[in-house]
Structure formats: structure tokens, C-alpha cells
Amino acid sequence: MPKDAKKEILNAAMKVIAREKISGTRMHMIAKETERSQANLHYYFPTKNDIMIALLDDIQKQFSENRKKYIDLENKSVLENIRGFFEQKEDDILNNKELDYVQLDYWVQGTVNEEIRKKFQKTFNIWRSGISKVLDKGKFKDSVDNEYKDMLTYIMLSLMLGASLQYLIDEGKFDLKKYFDVSEGLIEQCLKEEN
């Protein structure tokens, strides 16, 4: 499959899903967005679910690639890297809303589609694993119990997704930068209490 054709279809699918949600997306809509025939679309992706899974994989790849701009285990402190996670999420919310809306819709679809559920679980695991690697670089790593550290990864993920849910439904209700400043302070306080 030509990479550019596949990417063009996935980009179109992203636009359609952002507008229509996954449940409202139809193959003919994606075909129209790409200015291809529906038969041509089926040549690359036999079913809508095939496109949905490929798009979810592509989104994860984008998140992971983009994260490299914010996280540097070798040259940044634990707190700088924690801030990096929050900065990436803030940037996604403010500058890539389409991606954030689609991500939230995938969560909903994961409640009814087992394949999407497993893929989305993997996405969360990748995110938590990245946070865990950052936390392992801290001076507290030997004194903190692993369960506590694991809970911090869940809490950080909740803080980021909670920001998306609240901000995107009621933009301007709160200052997103301040939200993440407070989030960072909460995590920093948790780390200090464990030392």
C-alpha cells in the first residue's frame, strides 16, 4: 500500500471523525473527503473498523513522536519532564483539538468495540510507562513503593484527560496553563512527601 495514499485516507478519516464522531462516520464520507471512490477506499481498508484501528495506531505514533519534543530523560530533571507531559497535553488541547476530540471518541468506542478497547488500553499503558520512566529517574525511586509510583502515573493521566474533558466542553471556563501549573505542583508535592 502506498504510504501517501494510506496517510491521506487516515488524515481524511481524522477530519470526518472530528466532525461526525466514529459512530456517525461512514466510508462514503471518508471517500468524499479524500476525493476518491469508495471502492478505492475499500482497496486500502476493507472495512470502517480497519480504518479506525489504523487511525488509532497512527494517533499513538504521532503522540509518541511528539512527546520527544517535551521529554528528555538524559538532560532534564524529573520535574522538568513531568512538566513536559503537561505541556504536551496543553499544546494538544489548545492547538490540536481535532486530535483530542477524536481521542476521546475512541475511548467511548472502546466501551463497545473490544479491538478498539485493547488498542486504547495499550495507548494508556504506553503513556503510563513513559511517566513511570520519568519517575524512575528521580531521587525518590529507591524509597518510594512501586504501588505508590504506579498510582502517580494513573493520577497524572487522569489530570491530563480531565483537562481535555473539562476544557474542550467549556472553553475559557478556566486557565489551562494554571490548571497544569497546579497539576505539576500536586505531583511535586506527592514526590516530596515520599522522600
The architecture CATH gives domain 56-193: Orthogonal Bundle (1.10)
Angle between helices 146-169 and 176-193 (to 10 degrees): 170
Please give the pLDDT value at position 191: 84
What architecture is the 1-46 domain classified under in CATH? Orthogonal Bundle (1.10)
Burial status of residue 145 (CB atoms within 10 A of its CB: 0-12, 13-18, 19 or more)? exposed
Contact yes or no for 56/120 (Cβ under 8 A)? yes
**pTM, full prediction:** 0.89
Residues of the chain with pLDDT below 70 are: 1-3, 139-143, 193-195
106 with 56: CB under 8 angstroms?
A: yes
Enumerate residues 6+ apart whose C-beta is below 8 A from 57.
119
**pLDDT of res. 77:** 92
Instruction: Give the start-to-end residue ranges of the domains of the chain.
Output: 1-46, 56-193
Cell numbers given for 35: 476525493
pLDDT at position 1: 45
User: For 107-150, how does the pLDDT look when each residue is reduced to its tens digit (9 = 90+)?
Assistant: 999 999 999 999 989 999 999 999 999 998 876 666 678 898 89
